[in-house]
Amino acid sequence: MSLLEVRNLRVRFETARGWVQAVDSVSFDLDAGESLALVGESGSGKSVTAMALVSLLPRPPAVIETGEARFDGRNLLALGERELRRVRGREIGFVFQDPSTSLHPLMTLGEQLTEALRVHEKVSQRVARARAIEALAEVGIAEPDARVDSYPHELSGGMRQRALIAMALMCRPKLLIADEPTTALDVTVQAQILELLRELQRRHGLAILLITHDLGLVADFARRVHVMYAGSIVESASASELFARPAHPYTLGLLRSVPTLATSLEHPLSTIPGSAPDPTKSVHGCPFRPRCGFALASCESSRPPLLPPLGLQRAAALLSAQGSRRSACFESARVAAEART
Ligand SMILES: Nc1ncnc2c1ncn2[C@@H]1O[C@H](COP(=O)(O)OP(=O)(O)OP(=O)(O)O)[C@@H](O)[C@H]1O
Ligand code: SF4
Ligand SMILES: [Mg+2]
């Protein structure tokens, strides 16, 4: 049994413009100690998926239409607020995009780090402070005994993000959800934070759900990658398979827009033309069709299901121990063939 099993999650929002289908039939598994990435453009439903798992969506306007999220055997979506409070912070930790909005400006790091401990565990102030110093040291903050009394504005962006990771891990959760944890940071610091997450994962057997719009970040980080488009997972594969042979035109487009050392004047970066469909309108056929260079007339008549790529099943089964490669595209074999050229 996986640590987290998400099945058929559908979330929509009631807005002045009508219903917004933010997450549409999302399913995935995450094993204990595993790293998984949800990748996609802005608005594709990554954060709403993560927030729905731990009931952090404002309801209304959000409505969870269907779905199950089994975490350690319990359906998170059916838990009451008291049980959820136990799970949040204690069993599932979070790191969000912008450290400046996630840390309280008027509280010291020590006060913020020990808050979760005081809520979840009955420990003395002395023990809590010692644990906070230990946690700051673990995330690589120098002079943690002094830093524990610092205010957020006294730290650099990278240090604030480290402090947030320390905070998320105070109660030693089994799962860390990191939603764009490095977006606000410069490239060097980004790499350091990802390396820190990898190290913490190895040391504590932590499962990590990494959410990012940047496919370039996940290559060395996640074992499995789910690519989201317009609220749905459109491709799912191990990171190595996905990078070697994308089987959905959207993934191929994302890969071609990742800067590499080979990017040059002769081989400039490409972008995916067009924009995602209006989430208030129901889509007939494949939602990626208006932007897709592989589209055929048949792509208009029905929506492609998320299945092992046609024509690639045998190769996929050979390549992947789990044989769990999926793509929601009628032309996946053609896409994979083009990706190799
Ligand atoms: N509170 C809300 N009210 C109405 N619509 C919302 C709300 N929160 C999210 N949405 C909509 O749900 C969809 C998915 O949003 P979500 O925040 O999950 O995107 P995302 O993939 O995390 O994007 P980003 O990379 O920009 O963070 C979007 O169309 C968004 O406008
Ligand atoms: S199903 Fe058709 S339109 Fe959709 S991604 Fe595949 S080729 Fe493109
Ligand atoms: Mg988001």
Name the residue at shortest CA distance from atom 1 of ligand 2: 329
Spatial separation of the C-alpha atoms in residues 142 and 153, rounded to whole Å: 16
Cβ of 71 less than 6 Å from ligand 2? no
Closest to 56 in 3D by CA, of 93, 106, 8, 2: 93
Task: Specify whether the CB–CB gap between 108 and 139 falls below 8 A.
Answer: no
**Residue closest to 46 by CA, chosen among 272, 255, 215:** 215
pTM beyond cutoff 0.75 = yes
Ligand 2 close to Cβ of residue 227 (< 6 A): no
Question: Is the Cβ atom of 304 under 6 angstroms away from ligand 2?
Answer: yes
The b-or-e profile of 325-338 (16+ CB within 10 A means b, else e) is bbbbbbbbbbbbee
Query: 15 C-alpha to center of ligand 1: Å?
Result: 12
- Say if ligand 1 is within 6 A of residue 45 CB: yes
Amino acid code (one letter) for 166: A
Rg (CA), the chain: 21
Beta-carbon neighbours within 5 Å of ion ligand 3: 47
> Where do the domains of the chain lie, and which CATH numbers do they carry?
4-222 (3.40.50.300), 245-262+271-340 (no CATH)
**Per-position pLDDT tens, the chain of length 341:** 899 999 999 999 999 999 999 999 999 999 999 999 999 999 999 999 999 999 889 889 999 999 999 999 899 999 998 899 889 888 999 997 766 678 899 999 999 999 878 877 888 889 999 999 999 999 999 999 999 999 999 999 889 989 999 999 988 899 999 999 888 788 888 888 899 999 999 999 999 999 999 888 898 889 999 999 999 999 999 999 999 999 999 999 999 887 765 555 556 667 888 889 898 988 889 999 999 999 999 999 999 999 988 665 555 555 544 457 899 999 999 998 888 76
